[in-house]
Amino acid sequence: MQYKKIIHHFIRYGVAGIIVFMAFLGSIYAKSPTVIAAAADDPFVPKQTYLEQIHVNEAWDVATGNTNITIAIVDTGVDLNHPDLKPNLVSGVNLINPSRPPQDDNGHGTNVAGVVGAVGNNDRGVSGILWKARIMPVKALEADGSGGEAKLGEGIRYAVDHGAKIVVLSLGLNKYSNYMNDVVQYAEEKDVLLVAATGNEGNRVKYPAAYPTVLAVGGMTTGNTADSRSNTGPEIDLVAPWDVFTTARGGSYEYKDGTSMAAPQVAAVAALAWSKYPGMKAYQIRQLLRQTADDLEAPGWDSSTGYGLLRADRALKEMPLADMYEPNNRKDQAKSISVSKMISASFTDGADQDWYYFDAPYNGKVNFTFDIPEGQQVAIQHTDAKGTFTSLTAKPGQPATVQVSKGRSYVQLQLANRNFKQEVLYKLTTSFDIYRDQFEDNDRQYSAYVLPSRSQTLKGTFHQIGDQDWFELPIKQSGSLSISLSVDTARIDPVLFVQKQGEKSYTVDEGDDGITESLILPEVFPGSYYIRVSNVKEYQFPVTGEYTLTIDYDVKQIDPNEPNNRSYQATTVSLETAYYGLIDKLDDQDWFQFRVLEDSLVQINLTDIPDDVTMYMYLYDGSMRSMTNTDGWNAVQLQQRLPAGTYYVKLTANQAFDRNLYQFKVNAKPLMGNFTDIRGHWAQASILEMSGNKAIEGYDDYTFRPNQTITRAEATTILSRAFNLTKQKNIAYTDLSPKHWAFVHIARAAQSGIIDGYPDQSFAPDQPVSRMEMISMFARSLNKTGKQRGDVPFTDVDNNYWGVGILKQLKAEGWIGGYADGTFRPDQQATRAEFVTMLAQMTP
């Protein structure tokens, strides 16, 4: 309803008009008892479809503006005379030409300003999300939209020092720098909210959006999916509509798109939220916008849309939570977080566990830094994608680091003081360090990594400041050489350097960030060729990303193993050693032999097979009896358990090739019992004993994984087998299907009272078992109910602990011990080795 126009009608039609109008209003209220959402009367609002997507009208029921805080737009300036912006502008600065006002000579800053705060409900043009606002224009970009890091940092500092509470940064760089990191940290210390666009290249999130405390905003389509051009990655927080209709230079209006237009939407909603909650800190506003976002893809945070679509209505109408991730007290309730962001949450008390999971983009390290009250420490239990378990303690402000494998990791957080009885708020900052590649240390030419003299493809990283990788390629025969260097992130601007020892060098840096660099040498001669891979000089910080170096050395190769065309000519190979060969004639056969000294799991790998070639591999025993055969066009792998003896392998191909050498390698892992990974382990005897009794099993790859945490399903199955349970209880857990591999054993254990589900009718079969839960299971199996008398046997358990009676009894009877420091660590996750050792002790 356009109230201003209705008032115009009052003036024109006098008393009669008023009577008609009052009757009209009465009919509206009689027919429509619900409250109509607030709406702006600006004529171009119908073109601003993005306002509907983020539900601004419903938010306007609560607040339509905020003139108590200043919002700085660090950009190309703003059209200072635009009639739809001028009333909402305050003094700013021109950092490009300090003697002049921050007038927009590009248009981008004016576009951004209109999204934030074009005057609303003024019957003119468009409506900003804030009808009334205080917008500070800070011109830090040139007329062509370009700008340097120095001016950007200066612009942020100016805004912070001149009273801005929110800074909009619809711009970005691929480069990390300590300078900009310090500027961003300065803003956080001053409690200023930075909101930045992720970028529009379909690549990784740009800086400053990529810094942990900056609210990073991606772009969303009208179909509520991440726009394919919107940059994504671990640093993204939210998405907002990609397409907008907004103010333009010269007092006009236009359609614009990109994450540059999404970021100011988030900044404006943050200002609306701050009008309702003026006492909130910047990090709390960040968390509120995450909490109230409309989840779009995978549940919780994801690397494409962050926490989801900006929802203005929810940000103003939903109650802010101290911990938006609850309930997350168990592994199956774990909430997704990023490996590179700051979040805030809370522990209700010392018994509260907070479970999270994150997806590591590569192998590497994740650092956890807690902002938590002095005197408190956080116990971290981490299980990475390969099942490796790590336990450590984090002190306030000091990073705690865990090694991670590419893929999904789970982390359990809890106050180190389990007996603390009050709520503790904390902020957690995560950061990721990529792995050190296998070719290090090769940062200098004299320490170049020597490559085999053939075509090959290899991957590497820039894991440290100033990292550059040198390789030496020995050329043994004349031929041609083609080298390409590609990267998987725009944060790398690759530079390729090639030089034959003592001769002319070639440096290739023709493309921009993320673009492949290539060099073709049509004629190369015997000698050493040095290849250097680096990032441009300005980007010499560690990068989360990989480069791929592809070398195509085209020369007719010679098979170094010939003659080996018959079994009696077989090349004897050493285990764990690579051998290279050719099938240079259609009837060529390559024979190899190897010896296994004890019962072992043998893996035979045939790789680097040329394109369009299919190779065949045949395995024979010492009597030349065929054991197995396989084939493949890219790679061939054979894995088999073999007793001690001599074995032969025959290789053939469907066509001859003489330009690329295949690689042949035999690995053998001696078996202890049925496992390759328990030899010398402290629990070896117990594992062998229980395996012999059929109480435990390993995995399909002949591993037992003794140091991996044991789950409730695994523990229950082991106890069911060990105690020969046969009777089953009718169970119906919400998260356990009758088709689950452990269903029968869980039903038997439930019948025997060894284990039960949770109050919410779930069982959580994949939840790790704590040491106390492990002891409790065994106690129930042996009908031991515990005792209350006597001293508490461990320093980290008191008489109020739920399992203290069991611990007293089993310690007194000699079933359990503790650690050398007198602790038992009851809430620490139990490993498979600990569980089996306890089982061996408690079963006859």
Distance CA 832, CA 709 (A): 6
Phi, psi of 480 (to 5 degrees): -120, 155
Active-site position among 127, 170, 230, 260: 260
Active site annotation includes 346:
no
Active-site position among 42, 55, 75, 243: 75
3-state secondary structure of 394: strand
Q: Which of 469, 557, 569, 482 is nearest to 520 (CA)?
A: 482
814: left (phi over 0), alpha (psi -120 to 50) or beta: left
The residue assigned the tokens 């990974």 is: 677
Active site annotation includes 108:
yes
Contact in structure between 432 and 423 (CB atoms under 8 Å): no
How is the beta sheet containing 353-360 ordered, strand by strand? 335-336, 353-360, 407-415, 378-383, 389-394
How far CA 701 is from CA of 601, 669, 698, 726, in Å, comes to 9, 11, 8, 29
Active-site position among 42, 82, 104, 108: 108
Distance CA 238, CA 286 (A): 10
Active site annotation includes 735:
no
Distance CA 760, CA 736 (A): 13
Q: Which two tokens stand for residue 86?
A: 């001028």
Contacts of 806 (CB under 8 A, 6+ apart): 775, 776, 779, 784, 785, 786
Distance CA 270, CA 287 (A): 11
Distance CA 382, CA 356 (A): 10
761: left (phi over 0), alpha (psi -120 to 50) or beta: left
Chain centre to alpha carbon of residue 229 = 20
Q: What angle do CA 337, 339, 342 make, to 5 degrees?
A: 70
Contact in structure between 38 and 120 (CB atoms under 8 Å): no
Q: Which two tokens stand for residue 432?
A: 């990721």
Distance CA 759, CA 145 (A): 59
Active-site residue numbers?
Answer: 75, 108, 260
